[in-house]
Structure 1
Amino acid sequence: MGERRDSVTVYALTSEDVAYLSAAPTAAARIVTMTKLVHDLEAGALTEGERGLATEILHCFAADAEATVREAVAWQINNSTLLTEDLAEQLARDVGAVAFPVLRHAEALGDEFLLRIVAESDAHKQLAIAGRRTVSAKVANAIVEVGNVVVVTRLLRNAGAAVPEPALHTAVDRFGGVRAVTEAIAARPDLSMALVERLIAFVSEEIRASLVTSHKLSPHLAAKLVERGREAATMLLLQPLVHEIDDVDLVAHHLDANHRLTGSLLCRALCAGEFRLFVAGMSVRAGIAVEAVRLLAWDGGPLGLEALFRKARLPSALEVPVRIAIAVARELGYDGGDAGRATYQAEVIAEVFTECAEIDEREVDDLLLQLIDQAPADVVDRAMARAGLPLPVPPGRHPASGGRVVPAGG
């Protein structure tokens, strides 16, 4: 039913086509149709009548029953002229995976709408907003007030975010013990002397020296500030995922049968010190013996781990946190048992967060959110107490909440 116009395939669309195309039998088929439709719409070769029908189909896809179709629409048109303000707001109100590309890239969304989204306490949506090309002072302040440590760090590292001075102080109040946060603040331009003096007590020696030099602080003053509060690791200890289970292989097969043996879960298991679950899970996903998994992951070097990930069909972006966790285990001589678990967890989470917070990959973002946010509040409180660290609580938040914003569904 198509004809050629300037090398672009266009369709003499009818109302019957609207019903047929938007009801394609599979999500994959509808995504292919939607992609071609957007191409024709953006090419500008459709007649006025065809354009109206094509736009109607596009809106049907944006309200599709399958989230994967709606997500594909969002990624396809997030920076397109086809994305009207109404459609942008519709997609932004959807589940996190659908909303993310629109909240990150769409310029049609105003501050008042973004503020309402931030107030919903969905960490994935807050993360998308924190990384926008530009973030106003009003929105930045709201994110710092309620966002978790991953979201706030992303905001502070965003050169396009206008973070006002009071918000920077709030970030220090809430997450001053987290190196990634204080170093992100230290790298921002035009810091006040009051803020610099607060940061001196938290940042690493290298960043401290830079602050002392660039802001002309006396070494004596810097030393006194350091004495008032040394840099502390505030990464959370994860509750072990598996307790007293002999047949971990059975657990791994059960998770795989229920489509829950994901790369994120396996990474989280490794960071929690649950090496048996990690090895068993990789064995199931890759279809190889557990001995082969141990050899490839621990003794096979970078090529061995890369081959294991490829065999297990896991996102390559997660290789970095896995490699970090294995390196920390080697350094500490930790073997996955109860002895030394807390030390291993604190160290590996700190390293993963420090090294991966700037990686702009959705899988890594999701892992960081899980490591920081998905432990129950009472577990977090006990972990912080065991580590001898203060629990960061934002203004007006009851301490029992742990100062954390838990993503929807977490």
Structure 2
Amino acid sequence: MAMTRAALTDIDIRMLVKGDTPDARASAAQKICSRMDQADLDDEDRAKAQDILRIMAGDAAELVRKALAVTLRESPLVPRDVAMQLARDVESIALPILSFSPAFTDADLVEIVRIGGPVRQVAIASRPKLSEKVTTTIVEHGVEQAVKTACANDNARFADRTLQAVVERFSKSEAVLAAVAYRRVLPLAVTEKLIAVVGDELRDHLINHHALPPDLALEIATGSRERATVDLVDQAGRAPDVRSFTRHLKAGGRLTASLLLRALVQGHMTFFEWGLSELAGVPHHRTWLMVHDAGPLGLRAIYDRAELPPRLYSCFRAGVDAYHTMEAEGGELDAERYQERLLERFLTQPRAAAPEDMDYLMDKLDRLRAEIGRMDRAVGEPGPAAEPDAFQYV
């Protein structure tokens, strides 16, 4: 075996097979696994290495099997039959493999979730990647901690109906609802369900970080929900269906010049275009051409057609110009820094908007700068020291 001759010694393999004590065999197993994982194997060597892993997985000593499970927990070298054997082993051996190993199929994980018990369910829920098929099974058959862990795992994919089922099944569990609320992305229907059942703190988080259905956003904005406020500009930027959102705003009397200006100078150009389109009664593609016309007449024509206040036109012109300048400069800016730069450019223009809009934009800029500062500090701070493996031989 070329790989064995290059990376291992005959003594290592004899110690693995015939070592007098579990400690000796475990030490050999850990050494062999580490070197296997680092070796460049051809098909023949891979098959022979996997035969050695099968010997380890069948060793009577728990320490040997644990050495295999911990050392190769993320390795593609572990064959599926060995992974399944280790998954049925005692928890100290099963959990590393269940939490990380790529050897399992979705069908394997579904079966283990159904019959494997709570601890194994939680381990699977924390895996670096989960399909909708597996998360659906966790939600249907998993204990509360497993469902919470899966929902808190942003690398776990959920069907919309599955997340709705979580909210229905665990409507009294603050921990599970919080895990759902703090996911990076939520479907509108799930956000709406959550807002109806969570407390004030989670409700504020949902309103400030997730898109709301247009009718709910308007309901909250008009004060019909106690102790809740919504920034319609932020909601405009998050709306997955901007056309529907602008139509709801118009129907509710909230598609105002102030709202459009605030959105424009924060970079929500698509919303601005659709807002003008709705107010002017002009198709979006024609509105887009007029807004982005290199000459001075297009924006003025669509602005007047929308019957927006003539006194504010210069502010809108300055906002569009600042946006075009930013686009022309290009550069790699994250969303927060892009928005900060755009606001700075607008606020340094000589044309002043209404006092309440200027106050709003200055406050928004301050909040953006604070958020960027927090992000920079988080990046600059050293992370926690890595914890040692549960099993390690030196």
Q: Normalization by structure 2: what TM-score?
A: 0.49
Relative to total residues, which structure has the larger helix share, 1 or 2? 2
Larger Rg: 2
Q: Normalization by structure 1: what TM-score?
A: 0.47
